[in-house]
């Protein structure tokens, strides 16, 4: 049969990219959190930069919408006070109120855009973090399936890049046994 560690962990990647650096090889002893390999981060970093710019733009739009809201709210209050003294028509008050309501909707829309941009940025930051492949456990690297420059594609299933054995002092033998050889084996 084959002697294998009892507990092995397959280490893969959640994102696709080109392997830029490998920090471990066969028989390397690793601790939980140690860097095993790194995918080229340039694409992930550009996504982070782009989403940061979109978030800043969304925040600026929110500031503009808030300033417009404050003006339209004050304008509506002025028209309401003038209408109470019969200086303006009801139509002008209703128009000022309508503008105020539209400004409220624009602020809500700008807030939603800020939240969406923040979520995109968080997602891109997470993907940038996934470009660094770390060990999930303390152990020994028993298999390395990638080389520098190789492209890994994490589309439907996570590709296994490394296998880390948790404890090499506990091993098991995996073997095939014919049923004819153990036909009379019983409990006990």
Looking at per-residue pLDDT, the higher value among 170 and 99 belongs to 99
Phi, psi values for residue 76, rounded to 5°: -65, -45
Asked if the model's pLDDT at residue 156 lies above 80, the reply is no
Cα–Cα distance measured from residue 37 to residue 21, given in angstroms and rounded to the nearest whole number: 6
Cα–Cα distance measured from residue 60 to residue 66, given in angstroms and rounded to the nearest whole number: 10
Overall average pLDDT of the 166-170 stretch: 86
Q: pLDDT tens-digit profile of 5-15?
A: 888 999 999 89
Overall average pLDDT of the 147-153 stretch: 90
C-alpha distances out from residue 38 to 92, 116, 123, 134, 137, Å: 64, 29, 18, 9, 17
Cα–Cα distance measured from residue 115 to residue 137, given in angstroms and rounded to the nearest whole number: 35
C-alpha distances out from residue 117 to 42, 61, 128, Å: 20, 12, 16
pLDDT at position 74 is: 96
Cα–Cα distance measured from residue 104 to residue 106, given in angstroms and rounded to the nearest whole number: 5
Overall average pLDDT of the 5-26 stretch: 92
Asked if the model's pLDDT at residue 101 lies above 90, the reply is yes
pLDDT at position 118 is: 97
């Amino acid at each position: 049969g084959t002697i294998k560690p009892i507990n092995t962990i397959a280490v893969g990647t959640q994102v696709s990219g080109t392997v830029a650096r490998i920090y471990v090889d066969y028989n390397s002893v690793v601790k939980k959190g140690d860097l095993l390999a790194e995918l080229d981060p340039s694409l992930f970093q550009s996504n982070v930069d782009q989403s940061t710019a979109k978030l800043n733009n969304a925040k600026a739009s929110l500031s503009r919408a808030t300033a417009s809201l404050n003006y339209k709210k004050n304008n509506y209050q002025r028209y309401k006070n003038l209408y109470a003294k019969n200086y303006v028509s009801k139509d002008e008050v209703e128009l000022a109120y309508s503008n105020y309501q539209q400004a409220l909707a624009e602020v809500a829309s700008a807030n939603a855009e800020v939240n969406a941009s923040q979520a995109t940025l968080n997602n891109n930051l997470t993907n940038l973090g996934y470009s660094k492949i770390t060990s999930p456990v303390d152990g020994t690297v028993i298999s390395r399936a990638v080389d520098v420059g190789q492209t890994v594609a994490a589309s439907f299933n996570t590709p296994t890049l490394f296998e880390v054995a948790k404890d090499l002092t506990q091993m098991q033998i995996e073997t095939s046994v014919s049923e004819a050889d153990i036909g009379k084996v019983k409990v006990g």
